[in-house]
Amino acid sequence: MPHTVPLIAGDGRAAEALSHVRVLYTDLDGTLVARGGGLLADAEGAPSLVVAEAIIELRKAGLAVVPISGRGRQQLREVTELLGWDGYIAEAGGIIVHGTGAESETRIDHGEWPPGTLSEGVSPFEAINEVGAAEALMEAFPGRIEQYAPWQLEREVSLLLRGCLDLAEGQAVLDGLPLLLDLVDNGMLRSHGTLTCRDEQPHAFHVVPKGVSKKRAIALDLKWRGLTRENAAAIGDSATDLEMADAVSVMVLVHNAFGSTGVLAGLERTPRENVWRTAGERGEGWAEFARTWLRATREARRHP
């Protein structure tokens, strides 16, 4: 499958599209950071400045980067502040923030929930817990899904779980609850926790208000920024990330994305003309894309 998706570097069609891009929406785990979560490292975790140098060059060129992740607001704020970026999208698309300090602005997306769904003072996360979403899934799939400790703490929009289950089967369980919910697969994990499904790779799953997604969050963020789809690119490694292709002009998959059955199924199910790949994995692939974007931008500025 990877060979059927064109490499981003050296592709003329990609260069033309990238010449109009002003903002990159980037996944973090499995995409920007190395194994073990490090930034000052190559794809396998060995010390390296390749990613840091790419981040600096993009900042020098005035190109915006927005982390978009399943992580919570506090984690994303810290990452954004450390790297000098100006906003972030947390909880798989549920929280959109511009700025990081006292002047920051936040939007919470309730997706397709009709007005009045939430009682006063109740967050989407609390409403999801009130209908017993986690309990329903754990009862239906004993030993195959659990709370993703400790990252499920301090959530505002999404319930975070870890499991080995079929997405459609899990969604069917949620469809039986008295609240409109979606089950979102946010990619493969390394740790099984206490799961009994040791023969399968565990995934991170989010239970979110129906309609909430990274794709929808990007569209909302672009409108907020006064930009269009033509001005945006995205990069990631999971099936959920692949869906961002519908909100941007350039979608990039780092090489390790092709180890995900969800990504392969997504590419097979919905062929898209705006999807490219990198030769490198994780952060090395991210830096490869950054260099390609910089070249296209500089060429466009020399020959407007």
Out of 174, 209, 244, pick the residue that ends a domain.
209
Structural domain contains residue 117: no
75 and 217, same structural domain? yes
Task: Record the pTM.
Answer: 0.93
H-assigned helices in the chain? 12-18, 50-60, 73-83, 124-130, 133-140, 167-174, 214-225, 239-242, 261-269, 282-302
Structural domain that includes position 146: 124-209
Half-sphere exposure of 116 (CA within 13 A, CB side): 0
240 and 188, same structural domain? no
Structural domain contains residue 119: no
203 and 237, same structural domain? no
219 and 193, same structural domain? no
User: What does the alpha-carbon distance between residue 12 and residue 199 come to, in Å, rounded to a whole number?
Assistant: 43
Return the axis-axis angle of helices 282-302 and 50-60, rounded to nearest 10°. Answer: 30
Overall number of domains in the chain: 2
Cβ partners under 8 Å of residue 265, min gap 6: 239
Structural domain contains residue 26: yes
Out of 173, 192, 209, pick the residue that ends a domain.
209
DSSP H or E stretch at residue 66? strand 64-67
What pLDDT, on the 0 to 100 scale, is given for residue 153? 80
User: What does the alpha-carbon distance between residue 201 and residue 68 come to, in Å, rounded to a whole number?
Assistant: 23
129 and 143, same structural domain? yes
Structure-token match 């979102």, residue found: 184
The model's pLDDT over 207-244, given as tens digits with 9 standing for 90+, comes to 999 999 999 999 999 999 999 999 999 999 988 899 99
Could you tell me the pLDDT band of residue 266, with boundaries at 50, 70 and 90?
Answer: very high
Q: What is the pLDDT of the chain when averaged over all its residues?
A: 94
221 with 205: CB under 8 angstroms?
Answer: no
> Edge-to-edge, what's the strand order for the sheet holding 250-253?
64-67, 23-26, 232-236, 250-253, 275-277
162 and 88, same structural domain? no
What pLDDT, on the 0 to 100 scale, is given for residue 45? 85
**114 vs 239: which has the higher pLDDT:** 114
CB-based burial, 220-235: b 16+ in 10 Å, e otherwise: bbbeebeeeeebbbbb
226 and 193, same structural domain? no
**What one-letter code names the amino acid at 296?**
A
6 and 88, same structural domain? yes
249 and 190, same structural domain? no
205 and 56, same structural domain? no
137 and 21, same structural domain? no
